[in-house]
Structure 1
Amino acid sequence: MTVQEGFIEVTGGKVWYQLHNSDKPNTPVVLLHGGPGSSHWSMQGLSDLAEDRPVIFYDQLGCGKSDRPQDKSLWKIDRFVEELHQIKEALGLDEFHILGHSWGTTLAAAYYLTYPEGVKSIIFSSPCLSAPMWAKDQAENRNQLPREVQKTLKECEANGTTDSEAYKQATEVFNKHFVCRLEDEEKPAYLKEGSQNKNEEVYNIMWGPSEFHVTGNLRNIDFTSKLNTINIPTLYTCGRYDEATPKSTNYYSELTPNSTFHVFEKSAHMPYIEDPAEYRRVIREFLGE
C-alpha cells in the first residue's frame, strides 16, 4: 500500500489531498470532513479502509494543510461543491463512493444533486441535511443540560458574548454529552492536535458560534424535499447520543429510496473515534456490497 499526497488547484487557492492506494482494484472512497472549517485530522484513522479500496482525504480550502485565503466570499456551499468536482477531475475519478461526516454530509448531498455522474454510493455519517431541523434538535438537546449551563448559553447568545470563556466552558458541557463522550485520556493523540488545523472564521461565517447556535449562511439549507431523488445505495449512520439525532437521521433515511440506517449504540457524534472497530465494520460491509 502506497500513500501519495500533494496539492490541487481549486477556486480560491490550493487544497491538500492524500491518496492511500490499495492492493485491491475496488472503487475509491472520498472522505468529506466536518466543520465547516475543520480538517481531515480527526478522520485519519479511516485510512484503514484502504485495505479494501483506495481512500482519498482532503482538507477543504481554508483549513488543515490547504491554503487559507482571506476572501470571505469563498465561504459558500456552492464553491465547496465546485472544489470537490475540481478534485474529482484532477484525480481522474470516473467512479467513487462518498463518505461525508457532519457538515461533510451537507456537502455530499449538495454535490450529488449537482454532479451525480460517477457517484456510486453515499454514506451520510451523523448527517446535517436540514439546518432548521438541526437547530430544533439542538434546542431539545440543550434542555437536557444542567440548568446553570443552559442559563449561561442563553445569556451569552442574548448579550453577543459567544466568544467569552463562560460560553466556551458551557459549550464543552454540550460537547461532552452530544459530540464525543470519551474522557480526555481515551481520545487518540491526533484528535487533541487537530484543533490547530481548524479555521474558526469559516465556521462562524457558514455555521455560527457553536454547534447549536446556527446563524451563518447555511442556516436555511434543507435537502429533505430532494432526498427522494437520491437513487444510489445510501447508508445513514449516527450515534445513540449524537447531536445528529437518531430520530432525524432515520427520518432522512425514510425519505431516501435505496437507503439503510444504522445507530452506533456507544457513541455520540464521532463514532469513528468513540467506537472505531464497529464503525469500520459497518462502513466496510456497506461499501463491500
Structure 2
Amino acid sequence: MRTFFVIIILAFSASCLAYEGQILFSGNEIHYEVEEADGEVVILIGDGPGFSSSYMKGILSGRKTLRYDQLESGSSKNHSDVAIDFQYFVAELASLIFSLEIDSFHLLGHGFGSAIAVGFALTNPEGLLSLVMINPRLNLPAIDSALSDLADGESSQSFDKFHYLFGDGPTSELKPVLSRDIINEEIYNLFWGETPTFISGILRGHDFSSGLLDINVPILICSGLNSFPGVKNLLTFQEGSPNIEFVTFMNSGHLPMLEEKKAFKTIVEDFLQRAEENFSHQGQQEMNLDDMSEVPGDMVFGWEDLEKVHELHVGDDFSVKLPSNRGAGYFWKVKSLDENSIRLISDPYYEELKESGGGRDVFDFRVVGSGKSSIEFSFGSLWEETSIRT
C-alpha cells in the first residue's frame, strides 16, 4: 500500500495586501484605498464626478496603487459647506499626496479624472514621474460640439449625453460599470449640467488640453476605438508635444482597462517603467539647498536642517526654504518665533524649480538678539485653517 502526501503551499504576496483609510480635507472625509506592492505608487483618479473609484480596483495588479473617492462620490463624506469647483478637486488630490507624505508618484486619470490629473500636473508638483490618461475629458468645447452633432441626428426627447460620456461599460451581460443608478446626480449635474444635449454645468467652456505642452513629464494617452468623442478628437492633444505617447485599444470603448485588461496592463506597465528609468537617468534629485544661494556667504537652511541647532551671530541674515506647491493652494507660514531674537526682514515669497518640479516657500530672517530660540512653521491650504503638518 502506498501513501501519498499532498503538500499545499500557500504563498502570500505583498501585491495582495490592501488597506484603506481617510484623510480630512476642509472638514470632509476623503476615502482612499492602497493596494500594496513594490515600486513607485500610481495614483488612480476615477471618472465622474459622482462615481466610486471601486471600478478601478486591480487594473494594475502587481503595482502599488492608491485610489480615492472624490468628494460626493463613493465612500467620501461631505461634512462642510465648502464650495465644490474644479480647483477644489485639484486641491483635494494635493491634500491626499501631502497628507500621506508621498514623495514620488505617477498619476493615472480616467475621463474627468484626467482633467484633475492635468490640473494638478500643471502646478509643477515635485515627485511627479509621469501622467497616464484614459479617454480624457479635457477639451470640453470639442465634446460639446460632438454632442451637438449627435443630437442633430436623434430625437431630443431620447438623447442623453450621459450615455455618450460614460458609455455602457464592457461588452458583456454584466450590469454597466458606470451607470445613472450609481452616480451621485447632484454633483454630476453641478459639473456636467442637467441639460441632456450639451454641457451646462461648471465644466462648460473649459479646455484643459491647452496646458499639456507645459507638463514636463512623459504622458501616455489611452483611447478606446469605440469611445466618445472618438480617437480623432484625442489625437489633437499630441500635436506639438514630444512628451505625449498615444495608444488606441481596438476592442474597447470608454473602459479599455476593463475591456482589454491584459493589453492595457502590459502597455501601461511598460510606459511606467520607461518613465522611471528616464527619471533615474536624468539624475533628478532634490537640489541641495545650500547650493541654491546666489550670494556667497548667505546661510540657507532647508528640510534637512529642521529639528537641528544652528549657531549664528547677532546681525546675521539667513533664509529658510521649504518645499511647497502654491499652484495647488498649499504653502508654509511662520507659526511662531521669538521676535526678541529673530525677525522676518521681508515678506515670504515663492521660488519655482522647473528643473526638479515643485517649488520652495522662502523666508528671510535676521538675528536681532542673543539667546536660544526656535522658529515653528505650519503647512496647509487656502481651504482650511487646520495645518497638515508643523
Please state which band the TM-score falls in when normalised by the shorter chain: 0.7 to 0.9
Q: Corresponding residue for 1:3?
A: 18
CA distance in 1, matches of 2:104, 2:196: 33
Q: Corresponding residue for 2:160?
A: 171
Change (3 A) 1:28 1:210: farther
- Largest Rg, 1 or 2: 2
Change (3 A) 1:96 1:213: same
CA distance in 2, matches of 1:141, 1:124: 25
Answer whether contact 2:166 2:254 (CA < 8 A) is retained.
Answer: yes
Question: What letter is aligned with 2:77?
Answer: D
TM-score of the pair, normalised by structure 1: 0.81
Q: Corresponding residue for 1:185?
A: 173
Between Structure 1 and Structure 2, how many residues are aligned? Answer: 259
Q: Corresponding residue for 1:116?
A: 125
Question: What letter is aligned with 1:30?
Answer: I
Question: What letter is aligned with 1:108?
Answer: A
CA distance in 1, matches of 2:102, 2:222: 25
Is the strand fraction higher in 1 or 2?
A: 2
Q: What is the RMSD of the two structures over their aligned residues, measured on CA atoms?
A: 2.5
CA distance in 2, matches of 1:21, 1:229: 32
Tell me which of 267, 281, 285 is aligned to 2:252: 267
Q: Corresponding residue for 2:68?
A: 58
CA distance in 1, matches of 2:264, 2:73: 25
Tell me which of 35, 52, 77 is aligned to 1:39: 52
- Structure 2 residues without counterparts, runs of 5 or longer: 1-13, 275-390
TM-score of the pair, normalised by structure 2: 0.61
Query: Relative contact order, CA 8 A, sep 6+: which one is greater?
Result: 1
Report the alpha carbon displacement of residue 104 of structure 1 after superposing the two structures with TM.
0.4
Answer whether contact 2:147 2:197 (CA < 8 A) is retained.
Answer: yes
Is the helix fraction higher in 1 or 2?
A: 1
CA distance in 1, matches of 2:169, 2:181: 21
How far does the alpha carbon of each residue in 1:225-267 deviate from its partner, in whole angstroms, 9 at most, with x for none? 3221112110011111111421121111224331100011111
Tell me which of 106, 118, 122 is aligned to 1:97: 106
Answer whether contact 2:170 2:255 (CA < 8 A) is retained.
Answer: no
- Structure 1 residues without counterparts, runs of 5 or longer: 157-166
Change (3 A) 1:182 1:17: closer
CA distance in 2, matches of 1:172, 1:76: 21
DSSP-derived class of the 2:19 partner: strand
DSSP-derived class of the 1:74 partner: coil
Question: What letter is aligned with 1:57?
Answer: R
Structure 2 residue 43 is the aligned partner of structure 1 residue 30: yes
Amino-acid identity (%): 31
